Amino acid sequence: MTSKGLRKENGRLRMGSTLGYAIGAVGEGIGYNVFFSFFIFFLTTVAGIAPAVAGVISSIAVLWDAVTDPIIGNWSDRTKNPKGRRRPFIMTGSVLFGISIALLFINISMPENLKIVYFIIVNALYWVTLTSCVIPHISLGSELTEDFDERTKLRTWAVTLMGIGTLIATSTPLLLVNFYSSIFGTESIGWACTGITFGVVIALVYNICCAIIKKKEPTNPNIEREEDEASGGKREVLSTFWGNAKKAFKNKSLTYLLVITFMVNVVVTLGGGLMVYLLTYVYKFGDGQTSTVYLVQGILVIVAALVAGYVAKQTEKKIVMIGGIILYGMAYLIVLIFPVCMTTIYVSLIVYALGNSSYWTMIYAMSYDTAIVEQIRSGDKPDGLYTSLIGLLMKFGNSLGTLIVGFGLQFIGFSSTATVQTAATVSGIKLLYGIAPTVVLAIGLIFACLYPITKKKYRELVDVYHRKEAGESYDEKVLDNM
């Protein structure tokens, strides 16, 4: 499972390997956050599409991608590519990912019905190509180390660099649009050039990651298997998927994480999609002020990721997840309860950063840990499948979040053609932003409290796994409630 030079003698990852892996997450941060923060805004204010229709466009594509997530994850688990299980997916997928995100922000002059079809198709392409590099990249992290704390460290740095991508994706788009618009004369071309810029950066960072870890990815274990065990072909991928997924859902620890993921990602899309409307229409910020808020948010998220990783090492991943969800909900309540002023928005940003970073730092590190349960039960190491199931529920949450944004804006009377929104609409934006995320996160908090794997429990599970592999006796009760 290891490759020469991957670990130091004490079992810790080399910092160069950690950062080489983590740099790929910059692309993930850009890709997700450009979409969540600005795509519906682009559709409603530039492409001239009604809010509810914009929400449906995003929702359809996200649901389609949710179907492909586990298939790609299982495929990357079982491919027999001699270059590795994960890196070939990342390299090819990132280029297609970059192209698709550029296409998202092209406003083609055509009849409205054709325009809707265009954005549905391009949106579906965007999500599938995102999955084809993001899921294998995240799965690769579990193969670089099996140590409980080292996985936290690896994901901490990945989320930290993802925070840099988030900062770029949220603080620069409006400024880039203005810059390109001033050169080419139209806002539509400004958005198109901005999409192309982000597409190039995404493809670049993922391929830099692949170049750095080229000799560090573990040898593909499927190469040595018999053809009928891991053919790597599409039929084999599909035939094994349903059986493996069924086993995965019997893993209670993983199931709790899947529910948490669904709830949090409803809020990721809901809060992210509404924030630009909140800043533009409730706080009445211009492009410069809005970009500054996103810049501060991005910096805070980066710092908060390091804090979350440190606290998790000193305590428990579960504790950080619980605390993070509580803080995440408080960030929205602060905006709802306190007056519209700069102090309110910046206090909210600090609390938001701590909550958001805690979830993203912990979720994949925790999902890596749940895979040990299946290793004990069957001997399989389904990291790609588990990562993709997290992605599956993430997309279901994203889909519901986009629907709430679109239909919520439609319900409160937002007009895609009006330059000034009514007072009732402005109040509605604030209420929707403050109440809906808090309710959803409260449900996620319950399942975070139920999650059973602690540092002590994980070490017991690892000990049982090694005893079973060695043919020694072990206590099966350790798998109770797992």
Give pLDDT, residue 108.
85
466 domain-assigned = yes
pLDDT value at 90 more than 90: no
Q: Which amino acid is at 446?
A: I
11 domain-assigned = no
pLDDT value at 203 more than 70: yes
Q: What is the pLDDT of residues 425-469, one digit of tens each?
A: 999 999 999 999 999 999 999 999 999 998 888 888 888 888 887
7 domain-assigned = no
Beta bridge partners of 396: none
CA distances 98 to 73, 89, 119, 278, Å, are: 20, 14, 16, 29
Domain total in the chain:
1
Q: 390 is in which domain, residue-wise?
A: 16-220+244-479
The more confidently predicted of residues 449 and 61 is: 449
Q: Mean pLDDT lowest for which of 5-14, 237-246, 367-376?
A: 5-14
The more confidently predicted of residues 52 and 118 is: 118
Is residue 382 within 8 Å of 77, Cβ to Cβ? yes
pLDDT value at 393 more than 90: no
Give pLDDT, residue 93.
87
The more confidently predicted of residues 25 and 154 is: 25
Token representation of residue 363: 């979720």
Q: What is the pLDDT of residues 292-336, one digit of tens each?
A: 898 898 889 889 988 988 898 889 999 999 999 999 999 999 999
pLDDT value at 365 more than 70: yes
230 domain-assigned = no
Q: What is the pLDDT of residues 107-134, one digit of tens each?
A: 988 888 899 889 988 988 888 888 888 8
pLDDT value at 226 more than 60: no
Average pLDDT over residues 143-156: 78
131 domain-assigned = yes
135 domain-assigned = yes
Task: Give dist(CA 197, CA 176) in Å, integer.
Answer: 9
Give pLDDT, residue 105.
92
Neighbours of 110 (CB within 10 A): 11
Give pLDDT, residue 435.
93
Is residue 196 within 8 Å of 64, Cβ to Cβ? no
Task: Give dist(CA 67, CA 28) in Å, integer.
Answer: 19
Average pLDDT over residues 175-198: 93
Average pLDDT over residues 360-379: 83
Domain with 422 in it: what CATH number? 1.20.1250.20
pLDDT value at 381 more than 80: no
Give pLDDT, residue 355.
94
Tell me the percentage of the chain whose pLDDT exceeds 70.
87
Residues 466, 472, 477, 480, Cα dihedral to 10°: 40
CA distances 234 to 79, 81, 186, 237, 353, Å, are: 9, 13, 45, 5, 41
The more confidently predicted of residues 205 and 482 is: 205
Give pLDDT, residue 212.
86
171: closest CA among 39, 293, 269?
A: 293
Give pLDDT, residue 326.
97
Residue 9 banded pLDDT, cuts 50, 70, 90 = very low
248 domain-assigned = yes
pLDDT value at 343 more than 90: yes
DSSP label of 216: T
2 domain-assigned = no
The more confidently predicted of residues 94 and 229 is: 94
Average pLDDT over residues 250-278: 91
pLDDT value at 267 more than 70: yes
Average pLDDT over residues 32-53: 85
pLDDT value at 369 more than 70: yes
Average pLDDT over residues 282-298: 87
Q: What is the pLDDT of residues 235-259, one digit of tens each?
A: 555 556 666 777 778 888 999 999 9
The more confidently predicted of residues 188 and 79 is: 188
Half-sphere exposure of 80 (CA within 13 A, CB side): 15
Neighbours of 59 (CB within 10 A): 23
Give pLDDT, residue 232.
45
The more confidently predicted of residues 59 and 278 is: 278
Give pLDDT, residue 112.
83
* Average confidence score pLDDT of the chain: 83
Tell me the percentage of the chain whose pLDDT exceeds 90.
30
The more confidently predicted of residues 108 and 68 is: 108
